[in-house]
Amino acid sequence: MTDPGVLYYKEDPVEILKGGGRLPISNFGPNDYSLVSKAVSENLAQLDPSITETTPVQAAVFSIETVHVMHSFQSDMLCVSENGSGKTIAYLVPVIRAALSNQMLAANRRGPGVLIFVPSVEKAEAVHYTLLQLTVDMGLKIELLSGNVDFIQNPKFDIGVCNAHEFEIYINGTRKVTQLDLSGVRLVVVDDATESLKWEHHVELYQKIRTLTRARFYFFSSTMESSDAFHSLFNYENSYCYLHGDTNAIPAKVQTVFWEIMISHLPLVYVDETGKINTFPTLDSDFLKPCNPCDMLYYAVNRRREKLPNTRFLIFATNATVADFLAVKLKKLKIPACAYHDRQNTKERKENLIEFTNDTVKVLVTTEELLRRDVQNVDIVINFDMPLSYATFLHRCHCVGRNGKKAIVVTFIDKMTKKIETRQAIATLVQKTPKEDIPPFLKNFSFFKTLHRTSS
Ligand SMILES: Nc1ncnc2c1ncn2[C@@H]1O[C@H](COP(=O)(O)OP(=O)(O)OP(=O)(O)O)[C@@H](O)[C@H]1O
């Protein structure tokens, strides 16, 4: 196990994982602490690919769990580890352990025992699916509280996989929805914590659950920015914190580039009555002047496909309408593309995703929704719309470059924009980018420049 990361209890580093340290747990085989039951260990081995050895984040979590078991002790946990490092299994194993030990108390319980919160329908479905695979024949009752599923009828279950956006209804109850009794919840996992805590109503939700239960909270995230929301939820006095690698860094094999666009320019690429695509002269030169983002997108995708037809693109748009518009526009320009976002119904979304994963379509236009999924083999990410937070930018960078694969992230930037939040995002991006990687058009970017010009 290379690069073990650092584990802290409260604020002090704990020598728990370093080579030869106290409790290095490097595999999912049976161990003295019953962290992984035989059934879970076998189910993990059955997965494709088979899971037998722990990744650093998994080893860290199991070490913490060992302390919990040995000393009949409970604490909060924060795990920050990059995308694709195995956080899902890292928390599902303790979730299953907690649910199994909770089962003995189930007779007295009137509600769920463990809750997992994720910030999107897609991620909830993916986590639910993995959980079902890991708990085959274990007699645990697992519910998906997210998306287009029927509202649960029996409020007593062992593990709930919940979409934090939709959970409020289960706390308050309605005529159709049974209010959940959360007093028996012993463990709450918040996945993609940075993303989730951006939403005020998620923070309120977790605070409420804190007051209704005696649960410990495990937060998992691939980036972590210190925030008041997090401080208000996390029990610093009694907590483990695990940090792996440079979690707020762009993956080593990912090249980030910034292209200047001008939203105010009219699009010049169009399909005429004969079906011919008309471009404009600069599209044929390697140096492209700032142009309309749709033209720039066509240029980026088309040029690359001419040279490398198998290139797979993931394009990010801010909202569903823009994503649909771009997919249609690309199709008209003879570039097969499909959209994927949370305004589509489940069937449509699944079909589009399958087209992309099967490689039938090589261009997928999406909103944030897809970030939480394991998107495979993407070569180029295009930020058609500028991500408004650096954490989102990092998340998008982490969609590629998994397993050391080379990739490019292209971000379209209109430095003349008057939108304050976009200017703020550009300023942050410039500040965080190494000097040598900042393109000339952004070298003298100032948050105030255009704003001043407008107001004067
Ligand atoms: N111990 C392991 N050995 C081999 N493969 C693993 C192991 N743990 C997880 N994986 C695989 O690694 C991939 C990424 O795992 P996972 O989605 O849990 O990462 P993550 O850290 O949660 O990423 P994200 O932050 O993007 O959600 C999955 O395909 C998973 O099956």
* pTM summary value: 0.68
- The answer to the question of residue 1 being in a domain is no
pLDDT in the model for residue 328: 95
Q: What is the pLDDT along the chain (456 residues), one digit of tens a residue?
A: 456 677 777 666 665 544 333 455 677 876 656 678 888 888 999 888 888 888 888 888 888 888 777 777 788 999 998 877 889 999 999 999 999 888 776 677 788 999 999 988 888 888 999 999 999 988 899 999 887 666 677 788 899 999 888 888 888 877 777 788 898 899 999 998 988 888 888 999 999 999 999 899 999 998 776 677 888 888 887 888 888 876 667 877 889 999 999 999 888 888 888 888 887 655 555 556 888 999 999 989 998 998 899 999 999 998 999 999 999 999 999 999 999 988 888 889 889 988 998 899 999 999 876 665 557 789 999 999 999 888 788 888 877 866 567 899 999 999 998 888 899 899 989 988 988 889 999 988 887 765 555 444
- The answer to the question of residue 249 being in a domain is no
Number of structural domains the chain divides into: 2
* Domain finish residue from 243, 272, 301: 243
Does residue 164 share a domain with residue 32? yes
Return the best residue to mutate from 88, 242, 368, 392 for the ligand 1 pocket (most ligand atoms within 8 A of CB): 88
**DSSP tag of 267:** P
- The answer to the question of residue 107 being in a domain is yes
pLDDT in the model for residue 355: 92
- The answer to the question of residue 18 being in a domain is yes
Does residue 229 share a domain with residue 261? no
Which residues have a Cβ under 8 Å from the Cβ of 20 and sit 6 or more positions away? none
403 CA distance to ligand 1 centroid (A)? 11
83 CA distance to ligand 1 centroid (A)? 8
pLDDT in the model for residue 22: 47
pLDDT in the model for residue 456: 40
The percent of the chain in helix, strand and coil, each rounded to the nearest 5, is 40, 15, 45
Does residue 278 share a domain with residue 238? no
pLDDT in the model for residue 455: 45
The alpha carbon of residue 121 and the mean position of all alpha carbons in its chain are separated, in whole angstroms, by 12
The H-or-E segment that residue 80 falls in is strand 76-80
pLDDT in the model for residue 373: 59
- The answer to the question of residue 248 being in a domain is no
The H-or-E segment that residue 195 falls in is helix 193-196
> Which protein residue has the closest C-alpha to ligand 1 atom 3?
51
Ligand 1 atom with the smallest distance to the CA of 51 is 3
Which residues have a Cβ under 8 Å from the Cβ of 324 and sit 6 or more positions away? 339, 341, 365
CATH number of the domain where residue 115 is located:
3.40.50.300
Does residue 295 share a domain with residue 236? no
Return the best residue to mutate from 51, 127, 375 for the ligand 1 pocket (most ligand atoms within 8 A of CB): 51
Do 168 and 209 touch, CB atoms closer than 8 A? no
Does residue 47 share a domain with residue 114? yes
Does residue 29 share a domain with residue 154? yes
Does residue 290 share a domain with residue 201? no
Q: Which residues line ligand 1 (CB under 6 A)?
A: 49, 51, 53-55, 58, 83-89, 222, 374
Calpha distance 264→365 (Å, rounded): 22
Ligand 1 atom with the smallest distance to the CA of 81 is 21
This model of the complex carries an ipTM of 0.97
Do 102 and 118 touch, CB atoms closer than 8 A? no
- Give the chain's length: 456
- The answer to the question of residue 446 being in a domain is yes
Q: Give the structural domain span for 52.
A: 6-243
Calpha distance 128→145 (Å, rounded): 10
Do 170 and 179 touch, CB atoms closer than 8 A? yes
Does residue 194 share a domain with residue 48? yes
Does residue 222 share a domain with residue 160? yes
Does residue 289 share a domain with residue 224? no
- The answer to the question of residue 368 being in a domain is yes
> Which protein residue has the closest C-alpha to ligand 1 atom 22?
87
Return the best residue to mutate from 44, 82, 87, 221 for the ligand 1 pocket (most ligand atoms within 8 A of CB): 87
Token digits for 35? 């962290």
CA nearest neighbour of 36 among 98, 116, 88:
98
* Domain finish residue from 221, 243, 265: 243
Angle, alpha carbons 247-134-22 (nearest 5°): 55
Does residue 227 share a domain with residue 284? no
- The answer to the question of residue 46 being in a domain is yes
379 CA distance to ligand 1 centroid (A)? 19
Does residue 322 share a domain with residue 433? yes
300 CA distance to ligand 1 centroid (A)? 31
* Domain finish residue from 189, 221, 243: 243
pLDDT in the model for residue 452: 53
